[in-house]
Amino acid sequence: MMQEAALFEYILRLSDDSLILGQRLGEWCGHGPILEEDIAITNIALDLIGQAISLYDFAATLEGQGRNHDQLAYLRYENEYKNALLVEQPNGDFAMTIVRQFFFDAFRLPLWEALMQSPIEQIAAIAAKSVKETRYHLKHSSEWVVRLGDGTEESHQRAQDAIDHLWRYTNELFYENAHDHSLHAAGLVPKLEIIQAKWNQTVKDILAEATLSVPAHNWKFEGGREGRHSEHMGYILSDLQYMQRAYPNMEW
């Protein structure tokens, strides 16, 4: 039972990250800087929502309380969500959205690759499907980081401003607690220090190519993994949960 509780929390974090970032990216639909990019961002949002559904389904099985993916996604209070603060940050300008996505993609790709080796069949299967999508996501976001950073003076400055602002939220991606340590000991999930090393290298390489700088400050804003969110989270949930709370138990 203890291991199931630990695994439920672990999967919930993955689910919530995908759901909230997918919701954020969905706000760009119809507002992208060019038509091609409008479609690309919307497709990435749909990929993330699809990942969230699969993860919530597995989480519901682990929980064993009869809830389904809709209930886990739409009918929890703010402090019950375990997503990282990074993914709930406002879209801002295009550079802010791209840098946020790049930081997340650089984390998620090595994580999915490692989870493909999990002895838990459901996790390995979800990871195998998600890794294909995430490779594209990282290619897309990293190419835009380079394009913006090595572009005009204004695009370079906007990209650097986004990096400087969002950097403080990246450390939380590698949060671990006693539940994570128990899952590591059982060989079910990878240690995030391994993922962090790969993230650091990817970020370093892409920022160097983009002529952008890693921030000198070491500010760390955390709390999302423990249910303590920024002021932005309530506004996201008011939009995300509206239909399900206005029309309980509705289905598409």
Residue 252, in any domain of the structure: no
Cβ-based neighbour number of residue 205 at 10 Å: 12
Query: How many independent structural domains does the chain possess?
Result: 1
Range of the domain at 233: 2-215+228-246
pLDDT for residue 251: 75
Residue type, 163: I
Name the token pair of 248.
């309980």
- Tell if the pTM clears 0.85, that is, is over it: yes
CATH label of the domain that carries residue 140 = 1.20.1260.10
Give the pLDDT confidence of 165-185 residue by residue, as tens digits: 999 999 999 999 999 999 999
SS3 of 53-111: the string is: HHHHHHHHHHHCCCCCHHHHHHCCCHHHCCCCHHHHCCCCCHHHHHHHHHHHHHHHHHH
pLDDT at 56: 97
Interatomic CA distance for residues 220 and 167, integer angstroms = 8
- Determine, yes or no, domain membership for 220: no
110-138: pLDDT as tens digits = 999 999 999 999 999 999 999 999 999 99
